[in-house]
Structure 1
Amino acid sequence: MTNSPALSVCLDTLFTNDTFVNRVDRCAELGVDGVEFWEPADRSLPAIRDRTVANNLAFVGMVGCTTSLTNPNVQDQAISELRSNLETAATVDCENLIVTSGPECESHGWQTQYDNIVDTLQTVAPDAEEAGVSLILEPLNTTVDHPGAFLSRSETGFDIIDEIESPNVRLLYDVYHQQITEGNIIDTMRQNLNRIGHVHIADVPGRNEPGTGELNYQRIIESLVDAGYDSYVGCEFRATGSDISAVNSALEMLDN
């Protein structure tokens, strides 16, 4: 990892006209630093690991849990799934597991759901530290893409991170989601940089590449660099035109 942000590409949103494993090669040809994707089910993880190693790319992340973290009735299942996926991630050199809260659980109050997220992640935090893998908790917007999700505001996510107090449990700050939910992107990221382990980018509206919507992404990236952010910026957008052009534009933003 360099002392400035590195670029990662989400294989579920870009180069989708190619086979999943071959998308790694497509990314490497453009000079990006790493790849990530969503759920690992039905993916050939060893093949992806081998392809990232061959291309000198980082295996940045994948989804780490599909079980809800808000429902105490399935907490044991969530813990078991996270522990299993942490072991898998360590085996294939995956650096991060992306974790979302799951939906609001109507049978339990807000505080119970919040406490269950904290308790679940706190329980598996030592496993994450032992595996050398980070759990990155992602708030999602409920207005457009994820109605009913429990965790939508970054402030709540940062509170959860503070309660867990583990270097291997951080926040995934998705600029697209947080622009829709709350705005104030630059100040929020700068003031909470020590809690952020990964950043996703896409413009608003549309979830397309930076430059197609209302956000000044050049200024956002500059502010991250100035603040000393040195982890990954993930391209989790769908290109309006050429995928190659969209990724190259993102690379140029980081290089400027």
Structure 2
Amino acid sequence: MKSELSRRSALKNIVAGTAALGVSAALPAFALAEYKNTMLKGNVNHSVCRWCFGNVDLDKLCVEAKKIGIKAIDLVGPGDWATLKKHGLDSSLCNGAELGIDDGWNEPKFHADLIKRYTEMIPKVAEAGYKQLICFSGTKRGKDNETGWKNCVDGLKQVLPIAEKYNVVLVMELLNSKVNHKDYQCDNTPWGVELCKRLGSENFKLLYDIYHMQIDEGNVISTIKNNFQYISHYHTAGVPGRHELDENQELFYPAIIKAIISTGFKGYLAQEFLPSKKDIFKSLNDAVMICDV
């Protein structure tokens, strides 16, 4: 899908110290929305993924996010951290060390490069005051599950001591392989949980992407309740299509978020939908209110 190709490109092209999602002056300006005091309940730490609003200047996104009650921006690298700090927003899940979604820890030929990049990035994340850094399994390229687990363990064990030293959590994303990320290895919760068990570190967790896991395995609420101890981050989007969390999609987000809260989760829930409506900030506000249970 075009949306997923955009994310692949954004993640693959990020370079530490560079803002990869800059905005051209030729792009349309979005009017600043005026929202009433929404009186968020305080049970959810709300965030929003930068790449989904990549055609909006980051300063403007930060201003709008704060109005809505969002506390953090998701999936930004070091080049954007100063802007977040200027607006008093957290970086809920950092990126910039990964090679991309396809070229991950399950492939030994990428280990040397990944080890170098994560070894350099982890201290930067900690120095900036942040706690989480994304990573990916990579595509299978013919590997069975056992080979994928072994390769991931061999590589990740070389950087986990650094993550533990700096109190940074490496977070592997669960992505669907049916629609968006063909051949991706960490495409179901049991695979990711088994990797967590083999690594045996509190500094390695999973990003449970509700959109992706609804597509690949369903049974979202039970899966979350049965595996919450291995999950440190959540993403949202409507299924199908990855758009707003409205009446046109099949997931009932209030029940899902209540289930997440019931596990004692205190991390961030990041909106990762692609706005399809004209007022993109109203869409974002509506999504936050739907998830604010």
The count of corresponding residues between Structure 1 and Structure 2 is 247
In terms of mean alpha carbon deviation, does 74-83 or 145-154 score higher? 74-83
1:220-245 deviation per Cα after TM superposition (whole angstroms, max 9, x unaligned): 11111222222111101112212212
Q: Residue type of the partner of 2:139? A: P
Q: Report 1:37-116 matches (<5 A).
A: 37=75, 40=77, 45=78, 48-63=80-95, 64-66=97-99, 67-106=103-142, 108-116=143-151
Q: Residue type of the partner of 1:65? A: E
Q: Does 1:162 align with 2:201?
A: no
SS at match of 1:13: helix
Q: Does 1:248 align with 2:267?
A: no
Matched with 1:32 is 70
1:116-150 deviation per Cα after TM superposition (whole angstroms, max 9, x unaligned): 11222222111112222211111211111111212
Counterparts of 1:118 and 1:5 in 2: how far apart (Å)?
Answer: 32
In terms of mean alpha carbon deviation, does 205-214 or 72-81 score higher? 72-81
Q: Residue type of the partner of 1:61? A: L
TM-score by structure 2 length? 0.78
Provide structure 2 residue ranges, at least 5 long, that are not aligned to the other structure: 1-40
Matched with 1:223 is 259
Q: CA RMSD in A?
A: 2.0
CA contact (8 A) 1:90 1:132 kept: yes
In terms of mean alpha carbon deviation, does 22-31 or 193-202 score higher? 22-31
Q: Residue type of the partner of 1:12? A: W
Counterparts of 2:59 and 2:42 in 1: how far apart (Å)?
Answer: 29
1:50-82 deviation per Cα after TM superposition (whole angstroms, max 9, x unaligned): 332232211111333114211123322221122
Counterparts of 2:286 and 2:75 in 1: how far apart (Å)?
Answer: 20
Mark the CA change 1:109 to 1:181 in structure 2 (over 3 Å): closer, same or farther.
closer
Provide structure 1 residue ranges, at least 5 long, that are not aligned to the other structure: none
Q: Does 1:238 align with 2:277?
A: no
CA contact (8 A) 1:49 1:93 kept: no
Counterparts of 1:187 and 1:109 in 2: how far apart (Å)?
Answer: 26
Tell me which of the two structures has the higher relative contact order, counting C-alpha pairs closer than 8 angstroms and 6 or more residues apart.
1
CA contact (8 A) 1:105 1:113 kept: no
Q: Residue type of the partner of 1:83? A: T
TM-score by structure 1 length? 0.89
**CA displacement at 1:111 relative to structure 2:** 1.9
In terms of mean alpha carbon deviation, does 122-131 or 155-164 score higher? 122-131
CA contact (8 A) 1:172 1:197 kept: yes
**Quick one: which of 218, 223, 246 aligns to 1:183?**
218
CA contact (8 A) 2:106 2:149 kept: yes
